[in-house]
Structures are given as structure tokens and as C-alpha cells.
Amino acid sequence: MSGCCSFTASRDRCYRYSFSNAGLKSATADLGDGTIMHCWVPGTHKESKPTLLLIHGIGANAMWQWNDFISPLIRRFNVYVPDLVFFGDSYTTRPDRSESFQARCVMSLMEAHGVRKMNVVGVSYGGFVAYSMAAQFPEKVEKVVLCCAGVALEEKDMDEGMFQVKSVDEGVDILLPQTPANMKKLIQMTFVKPMKVLPSCFLSDYIDVMCTENRQERKELIYALHKDRKLSDLPKITQPTYIVWGEKDLVFPIELAYRLKRHLGDKPQLLVIKNAGHALNIEKPKELYKCLKSILFESSVPVKQENHSNGYKED
């Protein structure tokens, strides 16, 4: 299923219209080293506004992951939404698959657009990239928001049974699904309340449009996250850092949030969104936006604790 008969392709066009209608424009930058980066950028960058960079995770392109947040955020920020390398229209001929390479590519992209300082929000894999940006470019990254980003994981965690999957290969098969059965597993793993009816024809269509291109390269990105990873090697970032997590995350268990908080000396604030899983930007966009609003809009006001069941709590 493709083109005009594809629900996924039609939804993608709707998101493209939504981004354009919000005032963003599609832009591609050649970084000059075999790397092409695509990004949604402001129609006009206003120096009176701070800059906000939104970095997506493994999965569909950036539009699918950030669509619900663009309109309210664009009123207060110059919003930039890149496609990471091997997603959307971004690509590289270089062999590096590390998150530090992705971070350098994103920073080069921002520099190409004349941006010198920015706040960064990253969800899941995007949080790994955001963290690396903060570590490599402390003078350019101001606030850091990490959403369900297991940057504190260690290679041994897999063998010790922390994750739902028994091996990286099994994780790849689910995170980069090629069958409706694995697509259903991904949804069940990332949502607290997944849709009960998931027709295989729609899942196959989504896979055809979103999950086949650059699969080998994306697989290598996942392997690079896990291989030889030790907490002792993780640099300690110094920017104001906010850790946002789904209470029932099955991809990166919440223990990783507490581990990161301890690693950074308990300085970061940890906000837990209740009844949310890993895909909190899709399943709980209103609650995540409340967190982002408190963190980003009220720079001199402490984040308030919320106790209601559909909200978030601060630890």
C-alpha cells in the first residue's frame, strides 16, 4: 500500500501541512562531509525569542513524534525539529553510528542556520543525542530535557534482566518491526493502553512507509547505543537538566531515570508522568506538554508538583 492508497502516507502529508501551517518550513543542509540533514525551521528566526530544539526517537520521522507540541511551543520559541541521520530526509555516507556523531551532526545543522545557543528536548533515542550535545557543547546548550532516555544504561543490564527483551537482536526486531506481529509487540511495549483493534493491513502499510528505509543503518544505531556501554564512561553534564519519564515505561525502566539522577549528583529534577509508558509524547501529549511548559516557560519558577492521576509528579 503506498501513495494515495496509503493511510500512513496520507497522515504524513497531513503532518507536513500542520508543520507548515504552524509557521515552520522544510530545509535541507549539506554539512559537506557526506552528510545531509533535514530540519523544520522557523519561517523567520526572531532574536527576541529563545531557541528550542526538539529531537525525535527511533521510529517515524520527526513530524510524527512532535506534531502535538509545535503550535503551543512556537509562540514562545524559535522551534527547530530535525530529522536525525537515517530518518526522514537525513542521511550520511560516513560509517559512524554513535550518538556523539548524531549530536555533532545536529549541532553542525544548527550552526548552519546561525543558531548559537539553544534549549534541547530529546525523547528516547533523541535524549541520547541531546545528552551528548550537552556534553560536547556545554557553551551552546542551555537547558536539557530528557524524556524516557536510558542514557544511564549499561551493556550488562541486558544480561541481568532489566529489559523486556533478552537480546539486542530481539529488541531490534521489535523497535524496527518488519511484520504486523512485531508492530503489535512494539505498540504493546510502548503504550500503557494500546488500541485493542489493530488491523494488519494498517500495520503493514505503516511498516512499508516508515520502517523499511535505512533499516540496516538504524539497526547499527541501536547496536552502537548498547555495545560496551558503562555508566562510568558517561560524562556528567552541568546544564540545568530535567528527566521526564513514563511511570510504566517498559522499554527503558524507570530505574534508569533514578540511576541518571544519582549519576548527576541529584541536581536534575525528575518528573514522572503517571499511567504513561515509553511513548509518552504520543500517549500523554497533554501531560508531557505541562512538564515542558513548567520547565521551559517558567525559567525562574520551580517546577510544581502534581498529584492527580493523569498528571505528573516530581521526585
- Asked if pLDDT for residue 311 goes beyond 80, the answer is no
Contacts 24+ apart (CB under 8 A), 7-11: 7/202, 7/205, 7/206, 8/202, 8/205, 8/206, 8/208, 8/209, 8/210, 9/209, 11/64
Per the listing, cell 511484520 goes with 179
Q: Considering only CA atoms, which of 44, 46, 41, 14 is closest in space to residue 25? A: 41
Report the number of distinct structural domains present in the chain.
Answer: 1
**pLDDT by residue (tens digit) across 30-86?**
999 899 999 999 999 999 999 999 999 998 899 999 999 999 999 999 999 999 999
Q: Is residue 159 part of a domain?
A: no
The whole-angstrom separation of Cα 44 and Cα 23 is: 8
What does the pLDDT read at residue 267?
84
- Asked if pLDDT for residue 3 goes beyond 60, the answer is no
User: How large is the angle between the packed helices 62-74 and 285-292, nearest 10 degrees?
Assistant: 50
Q: Judge whether 59 and 65 are in contact, CB under 8 Å.
A: yes
User: How large is the angle between the packed helices 62-74 and 7-21, nearest 10 degrees?
Assistant: 30
**Cell numbers that stand for 267 in this block:** 541536581
Q: What does pLDDT average to over the chain?
A: 92
Q: Is residue 75 part of a domain?
A: yes
Find the domain containing 116 and state its range. Answer: 3-153+231-314
What does the pLDDT read at residue 169?
95
The whole-angstrom separation of Cα 38 and Cα 28 is: 4
User: Which residues share a beta bridge with 246?
Assistant: 273
- Asked if pLDDT for residue 314 goes beyond 80, the answer is no
Q: How confident is the model at residue 313 (pLDDT cuts 50, 70, 90)?
A: low
Q: Is residue 273 part of a domain?
A: yes
- Percent residues over pLDDT 90 in the chain: 89
Q: Which helix (H) or strand (E) holds 224?
A: helix 215-226
Q: Is residue 171 part of a domain?
A: no
Q: Judge whether 66 and 122 are in contact, CB under 8 Å.
A: no
Q: How confident is the model at residue 315 (pLDDT cuts 50, 70, 90)?
A: low
- Supply the CATH number for residue 101's domain: 3.40.50.1820
- Percent residues over pLDDT 70 in the chain: 93
What does the pLDDT read at residue 310?
44
Q: What integer is the mean pLDDT of 195-213?
A: 91
User: Which residues share a beta bridge with 199?
Assistant: none
Q: Is residue 204 part of a domain?
A: no
Q: How many CA atoms lie within 13 A of 155 on its CB side?
A: 10
Q: What is the CA 138 to chain-centroid distance, rounded?
A: 20
C-alpha angle with apex 218: 213 to 224, nearest 5 degrees?
Answer: 170
The whole-angstrom separation of Cα 62 and Cα 292 is: 18
Task: Supply φ then ψ for residue 192, to 5 degrees.
Answer: -75, -40
Q: Is residue 267 part of a domain?
A: yes
Amino acid making up residue 299: S
The whole-angstrom separation of Cα 265 and Cα 270 is: 12
**pLDDT by residue (tens digit) across 144-167?**
999 999 999 999 999 999 999 999
Q: Is residue 305 part of a domain?
A: yes
Q: Considering only CA atoms, which of 65, 60, 55 is closest in space to residue 282? A: 65
C-alpha angle with apex 273: 295 to 301, nearest 5 degrees?
Answer: 20
**pLDDT by residue (tens digit) across 233-290?**
999 999 999 999 999 999 999 999 999 999 999 789 999 999 999 999 999 999 999 9
What does the pLDDT read at residue 34?
95
pTM over the 0.95 mark: no
- Asked if pLDDT for residue 198 goes beyond 90, the answer is no
Q: How many CA atoms lie within 13 A of 72 on its CB side?
A: 12
Report which of residues 83 and 305 the model is more confident about: 83
Could you tell me whether strands 118-123 and 141-147 are parallel, antiparallel, or unpaired per DSSP bridges?
Answer: parallel
What does the pLDDT read at residue 266?
75
